[in-house]
Amino acid sequence: MHRLFVPCALVAGAALSACSSIAKVEADLAAVNFPGVAKIYTGKLDMNWIALEGSISHIDINSVRGPLKEASVTVFEDRNRNGQPDPGEDVKSFTASQSSDGFSLKNLRIGSGELSGRDRNRLSMQFKVVDANGNTHIHCTPI
């Protein structure tokens, strides 16, 4: 009986710790704001570390003042923990398509090919927005 209980307890503990980290990431992603430039609104985040897959239903990047030139989101493994993607750390990049209020991304997905062998404690997302004047604004948050 104890042999069955221990693996179940480990799986339940891993699931609960993954849920709390998802709640933190959702809160961090919902708070992304480039003052005077753009606000970012995110949909539902779903990360399944056991199956090595994740998705975000949508990301809307809305201009606060004037048009935006471009916007992108990059998932990266911050191996050197400097808070930004360096060569070789990129996991996957998404380029936003223009919408009426700014830019949007739909159904962002990361699979086992991108997540296999990655340190989940070092995965981060970078939001990059280029305003009408060509100024680049960057925000990074751990996943």
25 with 69: CB under 8 angstroms? no
62 with 39: CB under 8 angstroms? yes
Quote the tokens at residue 68: 């935006």
Higher pLDDT, 136 or 30: 136
| Overall CATH class of domain 2-142 | mainly beta
CA 102/CA 63 separation, integer angstroms: 5
pLDDT band at 42 (very low <50, low <70, confident <90, very high): confident
pLDDT band at 137 (very low <50, low <70, confident <90, very high): very high
pLDDT band at 78 (very low <50, low <70, confident <90, very high): very high
- pLDDT on residue 85: 92
CA 103/CA 116 separation, integer angstroms: 30
7-28 confidence digits (pLDDT tens):
333 333 333 344 445 555 555 5
User: Is residue 76 scored above 90 in pLDDT?
Assistant: yes
Ordered by start, the domain boundaries in the chain are 2-142
